Amino acid sequence: MHAGRFVFSELVANLPQKEFHKCVAQYHRGALPRRFSYWDQYLAMAFAQLTYRESLRDIEACLGSVSGKLYHLGFRGTVARSTLADANETRDWRIFAAFAQTLIATARPLYAADPIGVDLDQSLYALDSTTIDLCLSMFPWAAFRKHKAAVKMHTLLDLHGNIPVFIRVSDGKLHDVNVLDDLVIEPGAFYVFDRGYLDFARLYRFTLAAAFFVTRSKENVVLQRRYSHTVDKSTGICVDQTVILATYGSACAYPDALRRIVYVDPKTDIRLEFITNNFALPALTIAQIYKSRWQIELFFKWIKQHLRIKAFYGTSENAVKTQIWIAVSIYVLVAIVRKRLGLEATLYQILQILSITPFEKMSILQALQEANSQTHLHDPAKQLNLWDF
């Protein structure tokens, strides 16, 4: 019999609490709260994410039913609905964003050697955004259209392990291409994104930083061919050219040469035209790099299905951003635990087990071993799995 920690406290033990307090000190002004600390707030919201709580009242009722165990779970204050609501409304969301970045910095080296499905030695990142629809009457600060509110979650995903390395939460009106201004570009790395990010002045920053991009072209982009390279059409590559931008404005924004690759999918017969500033890799590898962009679409779909980022516990901008960043940190935390414990279970299975065993006195390994003998926790046929390639 396991007589040690509860499953929830064992999971929380993997959090760098000293780093969390550093994040609090960075953004908090004045005296620290005494009865319901920042750490209590984080644990309450983490519990809500892991156990799929529907509301603040739901969180209060569940934690109140095990009040005798809260101290052993890491709580030092009572979790009341109004107190948690006030904390989410008023306490700076940047604290939780900074803490999530700390966890991301821990997770990335753990997944650095994971395969990405492309023969590539350099880092590979995918950039995209997902829109989270909101009720305009309850979230007027996030006005998107005439009768609709929304926020966007702009994400840069490290495809080694599908770890988000950059996230910006904005209102729904912000165009995706503006996020390129916020990126810290890593020299030598590859960045893949769709044609919504096609802005040649911004793309030139990647070339100046000695980084590479792969994106799709648009119909109104006028290119002038300089050289044509030999291609093997049996691979689906139809065109591999060195080109320059032909219009004056585009040529001023991006004065260097580009590479144009046309690929026809042999299964669907869909014709895709790519633009990149990399001239060294085989044309088919460039096409495969763009195909890997689909991982970020799966990431968005996955977190919307399994984390609480579509229904919010508060209606202010601060509360929404707090909840999103804590959800991201829990996603990364489970990824860290998975690697540290050498677990073969999928992320879906781990989250399902954690959702029903937070108050059990057993190790996470024991809980997973017992679940392995069951079939009801196996991924359903339509369930996405970010960790198997």
β pairing state of 258-264 and 271-276: antiparallel
What does the pLDDT read at residue 257?
96
pLDDT of residue 371: 55
Give the residue from 206, 281, 199, 190 showing the smallest Cα distance to 237: 281
* DSSP per-residue string spanning 306-375: HSS-SS-S--SHHHHHHHHHHHHHHHHHHHHHHHHTT--S-HHHHHHHHHH-TT--S-HHHHHHHHHT-S
Amino acid 387: pLDDT: 38
pLDDT at 372: 54
As a dihedral over the C-alpha atoms of residue 143, residue 145, residue 146, residue 147, rounded to 10 degrees, the angle is -80
pTM of the model: 0.87
Q: What is the secondary structure of 40-76 as a DSSP string?
A: HHHHHHHHHHHHT--SHHHHHHHHHTTGGGHHHHT--
pLDDT along the chain (389 residues), means of 10: 75 94 92 90 94 91 89 87 94 96 94 87 94 91 89 94 92 92 95 94 96 94 93 91 94 96 90 95 94 92 85 92 94 92 83 87 78 48 40
